Amino acid sequence: MTQVLFVVSECAPLIKTGGLADVAGALPQALAAHGCKVRTVLPGYRAIMGGLGKTKVVERYDDLFGGPATLRACSVHGLDLLIVDAPHLFDRDGGIYGDAAGLDWPDNPERFAALSYVAAMIADKGAAGWVPDIVHGHDWQAGLTPEYLHALGVAVPFVFTVHNIAFHGNTSAERLQDLRLSSDRFDADHFEFWGQISALKAALAGAAKITTVSQTYAQELLTPEFGIGMDGILRARRGDLLGIVNGIDEDVWNPATDPDIKPYKTAAGKAANKTALRKTFGLGKSDGPLCVLVSRLTEQKGIDLLLRALPELLAGGGQLALLGSGAPELEVALLEAASEHPNVAVKIGYDEALSHKMMAGGDAILVPSRFEPCGLTQLYGLRYGTLPLVALTGGLADTVINASPAALSSGVATGIQFNPITAQALGDAFGRLCALYAQPTVWKKMQSNAMKQAVGWDTSAAEYAGIYAQLRTAAA
Ligand code: ADP
C-alpha cells in the first residue's frame, strides 16, 4: 500500500466551489483500487465542522500562523480526513476564499500557508503514527508545501496537480517572515514571481512531478497564452509535466440511480426529466434542443460569448436553462436575456440538486469556455445522454468527439466542438446543434455513444498510482 497525503482546500461533498472539490472527493476512492491509501488534509472551515461526526485530536500546534490549532482525524463520506482546526484562520462566516461580498480574505496567504505547513509537518512527524510515502498537493493553496518540506528537511516526494493555472496565490514579498519562508530561496528558481511570493510557482519549482487535468491543457500550459506567466517554468520542467484527465464520481453522477431525478437507463428516459425541468424553469414547449449550462459565471467560462450567440440558438427553436453565480455584470446580463426571451430561463445561485435535474432534463450541455483545464459538466452530460456543445480547448478537446462528417458517418460522434472560441463560431455551432437535433436517428445514436463513453476515474487513478510508485522507487 502506498500512503498518500492529499493537500487541498476543498473536497466534495463537504465543501465545494468548483471541480477541484469533485476531484478531491472522488479520486481517493478510485486510488484505493490501485493500492493507494489516501488521507486528505483540509482546512476546518466553519461550514464543515458541524458535519464531520466524531473527530479525534491527533496533533496540537501552539502557534499556527497566529493562533493555536489542532489537527483532527475523522472519516466521513468514505474519506479519511485530517482537519486543520485553526479558528483564527477558518472559523468565520462567508465563503472559503472570501467574504460574503466576494472579496478575497486578506489573510488567505497565511490561511493556506498554514494548510501547507501542517502537510509538511505530517510528512515529517506523522499524524497519530501515520506517515505518508507521497504528498500530493492541489492548486496554489497547497503550493508552499515543498518549501516547508525543504525547510523541515523532509525527503517525502511531492506531486503537484494544476487544476487551474489562472490562480497564482501571489502575495507581497513583505510577508516572507509571516509565511515562514526563507529569504535565501526568494529567487526565480524557487518561489519568487515578478517580485512577489507565488505559492503556485513554489509548487511548480519544487514538485517532483507536475500533473494537470488533461493532456491538451498540459500542452497549452507551455504557451504564453495559456501559461499566464508560468509557461517559462513549465517549459523548463516539461520532462516532469504530464496531463491526466479527470474522471467523475460514477456513483454520484449515475442517471440510473440519481435520487434527484426520474432515473433512467437509456436516453428515452430523459423525456420525463425534460418535462419536469421545463416546469422548474418556467419554459414552454419548443421544437429545438433544450440547452443547459451550469457554471461559475466568469470571463473564463465564455458567458459573454453565449449571450452574443444566443439569437442563433433561439432562431433554431432552441431553449436555454442556465444555473450559475459569479460576476455581477454577467448575472445582470443573463437575467435581462431571460426577461427578453421566453425561451431563456436563468437561475442565479448554487444548487447541487438542480444541477443533477438539468443534466437529466437537458438535450445539450453548453461549455463555451475560453480555456478549460478539464471541465466536468461535459462529462456529466455524456453520462446522462445530454450532448456536450463545447469550445475546442483543454479537457473539452480531449473528452468530446465532434460531430464532423467523418465522425458521424463512422458513428462515433458524442457532441459538438467549436473553434475559434468566438461568438460567431458558437453561433454556427448552435446552427449545427439544431440541425442534428432535427434528425432523431442521428441524435439518438450520438446519445447512446455518449452514454457509453468511459468517464470514470479508473484509468486516470491508475496513472496517478503509477507516478507515486515511480517516485517511491526513486526515493528508496
Ligand atoms: P470549475 O472548477 O472551473 O468551476 P468544472 O467544470 O471543473 O469547472 O467544475 C465545476 C463543478 O461545479 C461541477 O461539478 C459543476 O456542476 C459545479 N457547479 C458550478 N456552478 C454550479 C452551480 N451554480 N450550482 C451547482 N453546481 C455548480
pLDDT single digits (tens) 192-222: 999 999 999 999 999 999 999 999 999 999 9
Amino acid letter for position 393: T
pLDDT at 304: 98
Pocket test for ligand 1, best of 295, 346, 358 (most atoms within 8 A of CB): 295
| Residue nearest ligand 1's atom 13 by CA | 19
Q: Mean pLDDT of all residues in the chain?
A: 97
Mean pLDDT of 271-278: 98
CB 433 within 8 A of CB 289: yes
Per-residue pLDDT reduced to its tens digit, 124-142: 999 989 999 999 999 999 9
pTM: 0.96
> Is cis: bond before 132, omega within 30 of 0?
no
pLDDT at 419: 98
| Residue nearest ligand 1's atom 22 by CA | 350
Per-residue pLDDT reduced to its tens digit, 29-47: 999 999 999 999 999 999 9
> Which residues are CB-contacts of 179 (< 8 A; sequence separation ≥ 6)?
65, 109, 110, 113, 144, 171, 197
pLDDT at 97: 97
Is residue 55 scored above 90 in pLDDT? yes
Centre of ligand 1 to C-alpha 20, Å, is: 9
Is residue 276 scored above 90 in pLDDT? yes
Is residue 475 scored above 90 in pLDDT? no
| Residue nearest ligand 1's atom 12 by CA | 18
pLDDT at 54: 96
Q: How far apart are CA 284 and CA 291, in angstroms?
A: 14
Centre of ligand 1 to C-alpha 204, Å, is: 25
Per-residue pLDDT reduced to its tens digit, 146-200: 999 999 999 999 999 999 999 999 999 999 999 999 999 999 999 999 999 999 9
CB burial readout 291-330, b (16+ within 10 A) else e: bbbbbbbeebbbbbbbbebbebbbebebbbbbbbbbbeeb
Three-class DSSP labels, 307-369 = HHHHHHHHHCCCEEEEEEEECHHHHHHHHHHHHHCCCEEEEECCCHHHHHHHHHHCCEEEECC
For residue 208, the surrounding DSSP H or E stretch is none
Centre of ligand 1 to C-alpha 465, Å, is: 26
pLDDT at 269: 98
Mean pLDDT of 363-391: 98
pLDDT at 401: 98
Ligand 1 is surrounded, with C-beta below 6 A, by 18-20, 22, 294-296, 323-325, 350-352, 355, 374-377
Pocket test for ligand 1, best of 294, 301, 346 (most atoms within 8 A of CB): 294
Per-residue pLDDT reduced to its tens digit, 384-431: 999 999 999 999 999 999 999 999 999 999 999 999 999 999 999 999
Per-residue pLDDT reduced to its tens digit, 314-349: 999 999 999 999 999 999 999 999 999 999 999 999
Point out the ligand 1 atom lying closest to the alpha carbon of residue 325: 23
Centre of ligand 1 to C-alpha 255, Å, is: 18
Break the chain into its structural domains and give their ranges: 2-247+457-475, 267-452
Cell matching residue 84: 486543520
Please check whether the two domains, 2-247+457-475 and 267-452, share a CATH topology: yes
pLDDT at 439: 98
When pLDDT is cut at 50, 70 and 90, the band that residue 298 belongs to is very high
SS3 117: helix
Per-residue pLDDT reduced to its tens digit, 226-253: 999 999 999 999 999 999 999 999 999 9
pLDDT at 101: 85
Centre of ligand 1 to C-alpha 293, Å, is: 10
- Is the domain covering 2-247+457-475 a CATH 3.40.50.2000 domain? yes
Is residue 291 scored above 90 in pLDDT? yes
Kindly list the distances between the CA atom of residue 410 and the CA atoms of 250, 402, 414, 445, 449, in Å, as whole numbers in the listed order: 28, 12, 12, 11, 12
For the domain made up of 267-452, give the CATH fold.
Answer: Rossmann fold (3.40.50)
Q: How far apart are CA 229 and CA 247, in angstroms?
A: 28
pLDDT at 163: 98
Per-residue pLDDT reduced to its tens digit, 75-107: 999 999 999 999 999 999 999 999 988 899 999
